[in-house]
Amino acid sequence: MNISLDHPLFARIASDLASHGWSQQNIFLPSALTEELARDCLERARLGQLKPAATGRGVTAQVREGIRGDAIEWVERGQSAPVDRYLGLMESLRQSLNQSLFLGLEDFESHFACYPPGAYYLRHLDRFNDDDRRSVSTVAYLNQAWLPEDGGQLRLYLPGERIHDVVPTGGALVVFLSDQIPHEVLPAQRERLSLTGWFRRRGSGPL
């Protein structure tokens, strides 16, 4: 799924990132694609393909339920038609951000994330201490008919001790600078689905 690199939606995201380091687009994924991705995620969960998420990386990675409680599976091209369309859309966004902001983003990695009721992810940054390649974080939401009282907000900690909460409504996209915006996932009252990803640049950390 590819759209023009100068699409107004991409331009708004780039402008937001340049001015304050984050962007929230409440209507980003087409509704049909959102539903197909949600079904894909739930089917993977039914088959046991989503595994408890770890913190850290490499040999230091550990599952710590007191820090985060989601189950994940990484996505790649060729796994399913909806995933291919989603990755094509994010590839267009990558190229557009490079074109407008000169960020040098080289690739994109992403995984499904499923939070069972009551699960959360404590405040953190998305960049590893020993690997600075993650540059721009993205979260695309797949939840149908989500209400504010369902919880599960993404809480962004912004400069000036400001807080911004994002309701994980299906089709919405949040984009932010990985090393500048601390954030957390608040507990939800129902199952919460998303696609979390990172645009990466060539870094100084180990490959």
Per the structure, the count of domains in the chain is 1
Instruction: Report pLDDT digits (tens) over 57-92.
Output: 554 455 566 789 999 999 999 999 999 999 999 999
Residue 26 is encoded by which pair of tokens?
Answer: 């409440």
Whether 12 and 23 have beta carbons less than 8 Å apart is answered as yes
pLDDT at 207: 43
Average pLDDT, integer, range 120-136: 86
- Mean of all residue pLDDT scores within the chain: 91
The tokens for 188 are: 């939800």
Residue span of the structural domain in which 100 resides: 8-201
Q: What is the DSSP letter of 161?
A: G
Per the document, the length of the chain is: 207
Neighbours of 26 (CB within 10 A): 12
- At 122, which CATH number? 2.60.120.620
Q: Does the residue 121 lie in any domain?
A: yes
CA distance linking residue 148 with residue 186, whole number of Å: 12
How many CA atoms are closer than 13 Å to the CA of 24, on its beta-carbon side? 12
Per mean pLDDT, which range of 71-75, 126-130, 152-156, 189-193 is the poorest? 126-130
Does some domain include residue 66?
yes
Q: How far apart (Å, rounded) are the C-alpha atoms in residues 14 and 10?
A: 6
Q: What is the pLDDT of residues 12-58, one digit of tens each?
A: 999 999 999 999 999 999 999 999 999 999 999 999 999 998 765 55
> Which pair of structure tokens corresponds to residue 91?
């590839």
- What is the arithmetic mean of pLDDT over 124-143? 89
**Within a domain: residue 207?**
no
Q: Any idea what DSSP says for residue 126?
A: S
Query: Is 59 within the bounds of a domain?
Result: yes
pTM (predicted TM-score): 0.91
